[in-house]
Amino acid sequence: MDELNQILREARKIEVRARGMVSNEFSGEYRSSFKGRGIDFHDLREYTHGDDVRSIDWNTTARTAEPYVKQFIERRELNIYIAIDISSSSNYGSIKFSKRKIAAIISAIFSLSAAKNGDKVGLILFSNTVEFFSAAKKGSANCMRILREALLFPHKNKESNPGCALEFLLNHQSRQSLILLASDFLCTDFEQSLKVSSSKNDIIAIQLVDPAERELPRVGKVRLTEPETGKSQTVKTNSKNIRQIYSKNRDRWQTNLNRIFESNGVDKITLSTDNEPNIALSLRKFFKKRRL
């Protein structure tokens, strides 16, 4: 019970932190970056200097002998799904925050932004299968539920496969959605699922990384365990050859991952567990770049 209360307090702290991040400026960047489903005719008004002449309603103008322009409103109500990897490696964090906790903060930021803009948001948690699903809904109460599930739902000692989440959503969504796919993407065997899903949805890949993964630390002989397969191996981390092999393999994996996203028209943002205070700033920069 003490552990549960502690986690609930942590959820509340994250919610408060996320609300502080979702400023009016941030919400505006969100709205500009993610457009609605189209526009509808709203009203007519008299033409004023500076109006786009292409919006002139010529029938009304001819009838009244005064120029009138059409006004349109955006059909907003986006469907947003936050898909979070909760496999074994998601619990890793070498400093203060784990990848899972960074993903929870992201879920809070996006769900609060969605609520502020009248959009629907849902949640899917996955390992190598879908572990939890909540259909997209509106409202601030839904935001807190998404945050709690993102943070509290038991993580799985399993491998990861982002493809299972994409395939699940294809079978359970009634219309086009914005999918935020948060994972470390250690598994890259999901390209076919990504190809099909990205042709029908707007997908943003959020790669979660930890600074300790960038290079092999010099700590002598250690036994390393691959978190998603459970395989262990003793490694001499001071060995120049071993360190070069690790670096080359990691570069090869990252290059392949970048290719998968780029070839399928999927934008990617990388967020590190050691940069939690700047998550909102990183997302805002990403939004601006996306509009260009």
| pLDDT score for 113 | 85
Question: What integer pLDDT is reported at residue 189 of this predicted model?
Answer: 92
Over range 131-146, report the average pLDDT: 92
Asked whether residue 69 falls in the same domain as residue 6, the answer is: no
Same domain, 122 and 139: yes
Q: Are residues 51 and 139 in the same domain?
A: no
By DSSP bridging, strand 232-236 and strand 221-225 are: antiparallel
56: domain range? 38-75
Q: Looking at residue 57, what is its pLDDT?
A: 85
With a cut of 80, say whether residue 4 has pLDDT above it. Answer: no
Rounded CA-CA distance 102/150 in Å is: 10
Band (25; pLDDT cuts 50, 70, 90): low
From 48, 75, 102, the end of a domain falls on 75
Asked whether residue 178 carries a pLDDT value surpassing 80, the answer given is: yes
Contacts for 209 with CB less than 8 Å, ≥ 6 apart: 99, 184, 270, 271, 272, 273
Residues 106 and 217 in one domain: yes
The yes-or-no verdict on residue 123 having pLDDT over 60 is yes
Kindly state whether residues 219 and 88 are assigned to the same domain. Answer: yes
Domain co-membership, 147 together with 53: no
Do 48 and 191 share a domain, yes or no? no
> Do 136 and 200 sit in the same domain of this protein?
yes
- Residues 152 and 110 placed together within one structural domain of the fold: yes
pLDDT of residue 163: 97
Co-location of 105 and 233 in the same domain: yes
Residue 32 confidence (pLDDT) above 80: no
Instruction: Check: CB of residue 172 under 8 Å from CB of residue 130.
Output: no
| pLDDT over 90 at 193, yes or no | yes
- Rounded CA-CA distance 13/8 in Å is 9
In sequence order, the β-bridge partners of residue 267 are 204
Q: Is the pLDDT of residue 270 over 90?
A: yes
Query: Residues 6 or more apart from 123 whose CB is under 8 A from it?
Result: 81, 82, 83, 84, 107, 132, 133, 134, 146, 149, 150
Residues 284 and 180 in one domain: yes
Mean pLDDT of all residues belonging to the chain: 85
What's residue 17's pLDDT? 64
pLDDT at 229 over 80: no
* Domain final position from 52, 75, 98: 75
For residue 116, is pLDDT > 60? Answer: yes
Cα separation, 26 vs 109, whole angstroms: 10
The pLDDT assigned to 152 comes to 87
- Please answer whether residues 79 and 178 qualify as being in contact, where contact means their C-beta atoms are separated by less than 8 angstroms: yes
Q: Does 145 have pLDDT greater than 70?
A: yes
- Total tally of structural domains belonging to the chain: 2
C-beta atoms surrounding 63 within 10 Å? 10
Predicted local distance difference test score (pLDDT) of residue 87: 94
Residue 128's nearest CA partner among 189, 209, 191 is 189
* pLDDT of 279: 86
Helix axes 2-21, 140-152, angle to 10 degrees: 130
- Residues near 190 by beta carbon (within 8 Å), at least 6 away in sequence: 161, 162, 163, 166, 260
Per-residue pLDDT at 11 exceeds 80:
no
CATH number at residue 274: 3.40.50.410
pLDDT of residue 20: 66
Over residues 58-84, the pLDDT tens digits come to 888 888 988 988 876 555 578 899 999
Query: Residue 223's pLDDT band (boundaries 50, 70, 90)?
Result: confident
Residues 58 and 144 in one domain: no
